[in-house]
Chain A
Amino acid sequence: DAKTTQPNSMESNEEEPVHLPCNHSTISGTDYIHWYRQLPSQGPEYVIHGLTSNVNNRMASLAIAEDRKSSTLILHRATLRDAAVYYCILRTTHTGKLIFGQGTTLQVKP
């Protein structure tokens, strides 16, 4: 299974943008890039996913490098409720299973 690398932790101020990086240099052509987040005392929840093109939804944006070896999750205006562990995951369509790494713990300061 292809692996992802993320910083252990990041800090942000409330209402400022946050860029969460992820490296996935061994990504294969059939891997989708998924992001999930896990709020304290909850199960993970889906944030966004993409294959090659940048993606936007109501929660976040996903910027994917042209060579697909890295991606960045962008929270446009961080709120205190965005404090969570963010996981970057490569998902193969054939199995559908999610392979989680350590994730990035995001702290948001008021």
Chain B
Amino acid sequence: NAGVTQTPKFRVLKTGQSMTLLCAQDMNHEYMYWYRQDPGMGLRLIHYSVGEGTTAKGEVPDGYNVSRLKKQNFLLGLESAAPSQTSVYFCASSSQDRGYGQNYGYTFGSGTRLTVV
């Protein structure tokens, strides 16, 4: 089925280790997003991309980097993991909104549960 695929689904890191979360979508969406979900905090935007080769900071970008070398992929990197980055990470994508409200919102991946010890 078409959609957004996130890998890995689970990961345990030690403080200071690095890792990359991969998000892949096969819907030819222009926009992609990385969110983190924490209890009582809802979803917070980390970084987003409006097209291949472009990225921008969201609400909570510190400690993360992203890259969008191909339109279908959006990578989230943690260079030096910290316990505060223990969270569930969601990737989402959406098509370009050309101003007529035809956008149907985001399509989400199933999430990556990351624990930093």
Q: Are the chains A and B members of one assembly?
A: no
